[in-house]
Chain A
Amino acid sequence: MHLYNLTLSRPSAITCAIYGNFSAPKVHEIVVARGKVLELLRPDDAGKVQAIHSTEVFGIIRSLTPFRFPGAQQDYVICGSDSGRIVILQYSKDKNCFTRIHQETFGKSGCRRIVPGEYLAVDPKGRACMIAAVEKSKFVYVLNRDNDARLTISSPLEAHKGSNLCYALAGLDMGFDNPVFAAIELDYAEADTDPSGEAASEAQKHLTMYELDLGLNHVVRKYSEPIDNGANMLIPVPGAGDGPGGVIVCAENFLIYKNVDHAEVRAVIPRRSSLSGERGVLITAYTSFRQKQTIYIFVQSEYGDLYRVTLDYEQEVVKELRIKYFDTIPPAASICLMRKGFLFAASEFGDHSLYQFSSLGDDAADAGVESSSASLMETDEGYQPVFFDPRPLTNLEPLDRLDSLAPILDMKVANLADEEIPQIYATCGRGARSTLRVLRPGLAVTEMAVSPLPGNPTAVWTIKRSAGDEYDAYIVVSFSNATLVLSIGETVEEVSDSGFNGNVPTVQCQLLADDSMLQVYPGGLRHIRPDRRINEWKAPGRKTISQATTNERQVAIALSGGEVVYFELNPQGMLVESEKREMGGDVACLCVAPVPEGRTRCPFMAVGMYDGTARLLSLAPDTTLKVLSTQAVGATPESVLMLDSPQSGREGTDEGAGSGALFLQVGLVNGVLLRTEVDRVTGQLSDTRTRFLGTKPPKLFAAAVRGERSMLALSSRPWLGYSDQGKFNLVPMSYEALDYAAGFCSEQVPEGFVAVAKNSLRVIALERLGEFFNQQSLRLRYTPRKFVIHPDLKVLAIAEADHAAIPLAQREDLKQAAADAAAAAAMEADQQGGGEAAAQAAAAAAAAAAAAAELVGPEMGEESAAREEQWGAPKGEPGQWASCVRIVDPVSLQTTHCIEMADNEAALSVCLVNFDSHPEHGTLLAVGTAQGLKFYPREAQNGFVHLYRFLDGGKRIELVHKTPVEGVPGALAAFKGRLLVGVDSLLRLYDMGKKRMLRKCEYRRLPTRVATLHVAGSRIYVGDSQESVLFMKYKKADNQFYVFADDIVPRHTTATLHLDYDTLAGADRFGNVFVSRLPPEISAQVEEDPTGGKYAAETGLLGGAPNKLRATNTFHVGEAVMALQRAVLQPGGRELIVYGTINGAIGVLYPFTSREDSDFFQHLEMHMRQEHPPLLGRDHLAYRSYYFPVKDVVDGDLCEQYPQLSADKQRAVAEELDRTPGEVLKKLEDIRNKLV
């Protein structure tokens, strides 16, 4: 089996974000690392964050920092990655991609202990950068400009110190003195050799300054001083006239200002009053910004609280350090303070946000809690803490949210809503930010307006008042016997003074270049001149106009009977008939492209004929309406459209073979869309690609998307064809079927579509272009662990559990809130007074009291959910669990029932089971729970398996009974009418009893812990949490389990997927995906063996099984894969493997159907490795073989970067493959179309 890996939706978690001006001066942008993807984001004027560019780097991005020369206006990006190299990137605006300026190798690849890459710091004056490892190694590179202002990089200067751990790194602002870098270091050498433990307890973190002597070109360890042992982060403070210089050391519970020859200034970090005394407050993100003479420093704690840090200083002496509680937002991996008063927060888990400052928190009215170094109180138990209570957002206003699936914890693909293609159900997020998301391939669409129309319209257009206008003025709707003209203003209303004839249906309408309007109706043309004079052209004899196409200067009509008449707008503003031609058959559709800029006419017209051909006619003056080429399309064309390919004619986009070409798109009655390249000079047709769009014949319309002419194809669902980074993308829109559409542009909807569907007129707009899936979500209470889909009742059962969280029943804050609400309701009722009102009041109060008694989860109400999401759930003790089991109706996406677990139990596994012994119960839901689970070391007081029965058609569940299992039930599976439970390292078979389940069989010698279970026939496939997968057999006669095959490599299994009787696909937490297969001869032997291999199992080697699995495919995805599913993602498509990762990426592994395809892509991949090495210098082959050598998996993500090669490289690669670049692109497009 050969697989093709393709990422459908890039990782959505952000691991690191930096702010700067990357593409041009004064353009405020953010560069984010999404694990293995580097992305440039830019908030637009409306505060929506747009992704400008996104590229996979085939490596792990560990650190990013912006770098700028003094006086320069643009930033470079320095990247620390796992490639053992330092890479400096510049964003090239022309090519719209990152270009590598420098790449210097300093060590081995991989995220190693002593290979730098984890920490990066730059000198604020842009002269040097330091890159450091977790231990020992630090390199300094001197950066400079040469005569042409190009960036130069020196050879590295070492600043190593053995057995020293590094916690943080920062570049200090020294003005134009020698650059100095500060690091928090800890020396472990003594602790390692002292058995008494004295040295370990005395181990002290130091703040060390490294000075780069630019004169002598070497680095010295200039200063090293003990620092608080909780230190974890450094914030450089502007110096050299702009501030005091030095550094703020973030430590657990404290911020400490330090500088050389400066006394320590210490302030406590205010802490939440609800926080237990044993927990510290750790700063995990900071951002700073200097504007004129003010220094803004914001820090965020691990709980999400934002603080503003202020330094009072005179010259270089800091007098006071103040920390003021600012606001609370979800904990972020990075926060970026931007000019224009934006704050970008890249959340650790869940959606990212952009906020706007409404105040800086320094006005007197803001009663934020503040702590200061001046009021620091030392008591016997340490320093006096300062408390605050989190409050709703006061200084920040949310502007935009970026969807993030991270982390995907479980995922299933099923068609529960009875749609054309199955939906992906993914449980995402953590704690209070957990969600269940339903993903459908397609662009998300916002419905701006829907209004009913009298009767069923046949067509709709938008038309501007004059060519220079920005917005559309009229919507023209045609019915079968009338035309309605609506004017677009504050409201949309009918007008009669437009000059259009309202008593006839309209075939086409157009604003011509001289601002006159044209209405084509079956009886002729109505040309409405700007001064409202009307010229009419009548169709000759009894012929009517059946089809028409227009642009600003050209009009072509098809008369019934197959005659095409062509008009042009002459300089006097008159439409002049210039040519006429019999086509020899009826014309089905026509299309002429807009007039290219600087020309007087478009040279081609496309005509679709009922005889099943598409013809290209010339419109050039001497060969008007001459047929240039004909293509037999196999069915009647429904619609034709001429479309320029991506970004043709724009400066600097000469890269990419497809650009500059003209394409003829033909929608056929059988639902197929043909796309054929048109030679711009001769009009010859070549290189046809086909795509099935749906069951209705696609109607094609042109509309502007991102300012470019794009295609809307309306079949049984709407599709959008647009260009993205040099590629033509054809993607479905998540919207119902439309009958007719046109582009729409107004003040409220700058870029949208107006469409008719049955008897309604709709205005719709696209949300984020480029997102592969559109999502709907349902909030959950705790981190989802596993879920199952009941295939008959079509409901989801989700197990949710959170460690160190407070269960609902003990949430005093919620009880308080509920009681308050009850009191308020009672009060309100009291005020109303009167007999009836009083009775009502009593009822309301009773209801509220009941609500207070029986708490509902915070996710149920909008307000409480928003608060919980902003503040996070309160923290509990280690070993304390909050958990629930939830039943969700996937169609309405609502929780129908939720059972909170009691007694510190955590629901960790679920499955559906039918017991043969008790058929009267039907399908039961089994939930495995662990009681009092603790980590480091991992231990649990007990474990249980709860059995629930479904009630009310699956709306509710009811406990049947629960059975203690003395361990953590990590996985459950129904097996031959009984229940298999993986309890720690045991495998047990249970049957149902009256009061509890009954143990039937047990196997005790599994290596570590059961993580996954699958069954087929009498085989059981066990995924072990450290030792890969084991194949087991159950022998009914002996009532015994035994292992007959296992794997030869250790893998920390996170997910497995049963492919066939002998084959299992799996994933481990290091980011590998593999397919393991039992060789067929062994499989047959095991089946034929009368003992079933039982005795052979006892003679296994070195405690292992007698037979070994063979890995047929291995591949490194780059981040932990949490779920694997088999699915068909397109009607009539092939089955493939879908995976979801912890960083929120969704990808597929597609089995090649032919040897030819597999060979082709293997070779393409090989050439791509040569010609297009990954951006951050990681070797592609080595990356995909991170833990195990890659085997029989072709990386489609690399192949899909082919269009980004320069044209000559594309040609060279294509030649090596004996093809043309067009054919290679077609292949790439074809395989993508096969998948989704």
Chain B
Amino acid sequence: MASLADRFNINAQLEHLQAKYVGTGHADINRFEWNVNIKRDTYASLVGHHSLSAYHAIAENESIGRTKYSFLQNMLLPCGLPPEKEEEA
């Protein structure tokens, strides 16, 4: 049986992870937050892998510089506006 102290400890560890690694989930994560996180990761990866930026640049017929910039811009609101907070029931 885990003691109360342990449970605190696990929570503390989780908090530590959440602070250290952006995007670490939590028990009450909603669909929107999860999606936003995935999309930001994706955009960061597209910017980081030059060949993926080039792939998109060819499809859109834009320069790679412009493509990378628009990926970064998209990271602000990757999934549109957040949903209204539901009142605590």
Question: Footprint of B on A, CB under 8 Å?
Answer: 13, 15, 35, 60, 62, 82, 111-114, 117-118, 133-136, 162-163, 165, 167, 186, 188, 191-197, 200, 203, 232, 282, 284-285, 302-303, 331, 333, 348-349, 406-407, 409, 430-431, 783, 802-805, 935, 1069-1071, 1118-1120, 1141-1143
In the complex, 23 of the A-B residue pairs with CB atoms within 8 angstroms, ordered by the A residue number, are: A13-B50, A62-B48, A111-B47, A114-B22, A134-B44, A134-B47, A134-B48, A134-B72, A134-B75, A135-B44, A136-B22, A188-B75, A195-B82, A200-B77, A200-B81, A285-B65, A331-B64, A349-B58, A407-B58, A409-B58, A431-B61, A1071-B51, A1120-B52
Residues A165 and B72 in contact in the complex (CB < 8 Å), given A331-B63, A804-B61, A1141-B51: yes
CB distance from B61 to the nearest CB of A (A): 4
Contact B76 A200 (CB under 8 A): yes
Residues in B neighbouring A112, C-beta threshold 8 A: 41, 44-45, 48
A186 touches which of B23, B36, B44, B76 (Cβ 8 Å): B76
A803 touches which of B45, B60, B64 (Cβ 8 Å): B60
Residues A60 and B59 in contact in the complex (CB < 8 Å), given A134-B72, A188-B75: no
Q: Is B62 an interface residue (CB 8 A)?
A: yes
CB distance from B33 to the nearest CB of A (A): 8
Residues A1143 and B54 in contact in the complex (CB < 8 Å), given A111-B48, A112-B41: yes
Residues in B neighbouring A284, C-beta threshold 8 A: 63-66, 69
Q: Which residue of A lies closest to B66 (CB)?
A: A302
Sort A-B residue pairs by CB-CB distance and give the 6 closest, nearest first. Answer: A284-B65, A111-B48, A113-B44, A1119-B51, A302-B63, A15-B50
Residues in B neighbouring A165, C-beta threshold 8 A: 72, 75-76
Q: Which residue of B lies closest to A1117 (CB)?
A: B51
CB distance from A234 to the nearest CB of B (A): 13
Residues in B neighbouring A197, C-beta threshold 8 A: 81
Q: Which residue of B lies closest to A133 (CB)?
A: B44
CB distance from B20 to the nearest CB of A (A): 9
**Cα of A35 to Cα of B64 in the assembled complex, Å:** 14
Most buried by A among B23, B41, B61, B82: B61
Q: Which residue of B lies closest to A231 (CB)?
A: B69
**Cα of A167 to Cα of B51 in the assembled complex, Å:** 19
CB distance from B18 to the nearest CB of A (A): 10
Residues in B neighbouring A167, C-beta threshold 8 A: 69, 72
Residues in B neighbouring A191, C-beta threshold 8 A: 76-77
Residues in A neighbouring B44, C-beta threshold 8 A: 111-113, 133-135
Q: A165-B75, A1120-B52 are in contact. List 16 more A-B contacts (CB 8 A).
A: A13-B54, A35-B51, A62-B48, A62-B50, A113-B41, A134-B72, A134-B75, A135-B44, A162-B22, A188-B75, A195-B85, A200-B81, A302-B63, A331-B64, A348-B57, A1071-B49
**Cα of A209 to Cα of B80 in the assembled complex, Å:** 30
Residues in A neighbouring B66, C-beta threshold 8 A: 282, 284, 302
Residues in B neighbouring A193, C-beta threshold 8 A: 82
CB distance from A1013 to the nearest CB of B (A): 20
**Cα of A98 to Cα of B81 in the assembled complex, Å:** 48
Q: How large is the interface on B (under 10, 10 to 19, 20 to 34, 35 or more residues)?
A: 35 or more
Residues in A neighbouring B57, C-beta threshold 8 A: 348, 430
Q: Which residue of B lies closest to A15 (CB)?
A: B50
In the complex, chain B residues 29-58 whose Cβ is within 8 Å of any chain A Cβ: 36, 40-41, 44-45, 47-52, 54-55, 57-58
**Cα of A678 to Cα of B75 in the assembled complex, Å:** 64
A194 touches which of B62, B64, B75, B82 (Cβ 8 Å): B82
Most buried by A among B62, B65, B72: B65
Most buried by B among A111, A407, A1070: A111
Residues A1142 and B61 in contact in the complex (CB < 8 Å), given A113-B22, A134-B48, A302-B66: no
Q: Which residue of A lies closest to B85 (CB)?
A: A195
Q: Is B84 an interface residue (CB 8 A)?
A: yes
**Cα of A1071 to Cα of B46 in the assembled complex, Å:** 13
Q: Which residue of B lies closest to A409 (CB)?
A: B58
Q: Mark B2-45, 1 if CB is under 8 A from A, else 0.
A: 00000000000000000001110000000000001000110011
Q: Which residue of A lies closest to B42 (CB)?
A: A113
Contact A935 B23 (CB under 8 A): no
Contact B64 A1120 (CB under 8 A): no
Most buried by B among A15, A162, A804: A15
**Cα of A430 to Cα of B59 in the assembled complex, Å:** 10
**Cα of A117 to Cα of B47 in the assembled complex, Å:** 11
Contact A783 B48 (CB under 8 A): no
Residues in A neighbouring B60, C-beta threshold 8 A: 803-804, 935
**Cα of A190 to Cα of B60 in the assembled complex, Å:** 31
Residues in A neighbouring B36, C-beta threshold 8 A: 192
Residues in A neighbouring B41, C-beta threshold 8 A: 112-113
Contact B61 A802 (CB under 8 A): yes
CB distance from B37 to the nearest CB of A (A): 9
A783 touches which of B21, B50, B61, B62 (Cβ 8 Å): B61
Residues in B neighbouring A196, C-beta threshold 8 A: 81
CB distance from A12 to the nearest CB of B (A): 12
Residues in A neighbouring B83, C-beta threshold 8 A: 195
CB distance from A883 to the nearest CB of B (A): 12
Residues in A neighbouring B48, C-beta threshold 8 A: 60, 62, 82, 111-112, 117-118, 134
**Cα of A348 to Cα of B65 in the assembled complex, Å:** 9
Q: Which residue of A lies closest to B44 (CB)?
A: A113
**Cα of A192 to Cα of B72 in the assembled complex, Å:** 15
CB distance from B29 to the nearest CB of A (A): 13
Contact B50 A35 (CB under 8 A): yes
**Cα of A1135 to Cα of B57 in the assembled complex, Å:** 34
**Cα of A1118 to Cα of B54 in the assembled complex, Å:** 13
Residues in A neighbouring B21, C-beta threshold 8 A: 114
Residues A1142 and B69 in contact in the complex (CB < 8 Å), given A113-B22, A113-B40, A113-B44: no
CB distance from A1045 to the nearest CB of B (A): 28
B61 touches which of A162, A406, A805 (Cβ 8 Å): A805
Contact A803 B59 (CB under 8 A): yes
Residues in B neighbouring A15, C-beta threshold 8 A: 50
Most buried by A among B22, B60, B84: B22
Contact A348 B75 (CB under 8 A): no
CB distance from B55 to the nearest CB of A (A): 5
**Cα of A197 to Cα of B77 in the assembled complex, Å:** 10
**Cα of A407 to Cα of B61 in the assembled complex, Å:** 13
Contact A1120 B51 (CB under 8 A): yes
Residues in B neighbouring A331, C-beta threshold 8 A: 63-65
Residues in B neighbouring A302, C-beta threshold 8 A: 62-63, 65-66
CB distance from A158 to the nearest CB of B (A): 11
Most buried by A among B51, B55, B57, B66: B51
Contact A60 B76 (CB under 8 A): no
CB distance from B4 to the nearest CB of A (A): 30
Residues in B neighbouring A203, C-beta threshold 8 A: 76
**Cα of A1120 to Cα of B50 in the assembled complex, Å:** 10
Contact A803 B61 (CB under 8 A): yes
Contact B58 A783 (CB under 8 A): yes
**Cα of A849 to Cα of B57 in the assembled complex, Å:** 38
CB distance from B73 to the nearest CB of A (A): 9
**Cα of A117 to Cα of B45 in the assembled complex, Å:** 12
**Cα of A301 to Cα of B84 in the assembled complex, Å:** 41
Residues in A neighbouring B76, C-beta threshold 8 A: 165, 186, 188, 191, 200, 203
Residues A348 and B47 in contact in the complex (CB < 8 Å), given A430-B58, A1142-B55: no
CB distance from A856 to the nearest CB of B (A): 22
Residues in A neighbouring B59, C-beta threshold 8 A: 803, 935
Residues in A neighbouring B82, C-beta threshold 8 A: 192-195
**Cα of A112 to Cα of B38 in the assembled complex, Å:** 12
**Cα of A783 to Cα of B51 in the assembled complex, Å:** 17
Contact A1070 B52 (CB under 8 A): yes
Residues in A neighbouring B77, C-beta threshold 8 A: 188, 191, 200
Residues in A neighbouring B61, C-beta threshold 8 A: 430-431, 783, 802-805
**Cα of A923 to Cα of B64 in the assembled complex, Å:** 40
Contact A333 B55 (CB under 8 A): no
**Cα of A947 to Cα of B9 in the assembled complex, Å:** 69
Q: Which residue of B lies closest to A333 (CB)?
A: B64
Residues in B neighbouring A1071, C-beta threshold 8 A: 49, 51
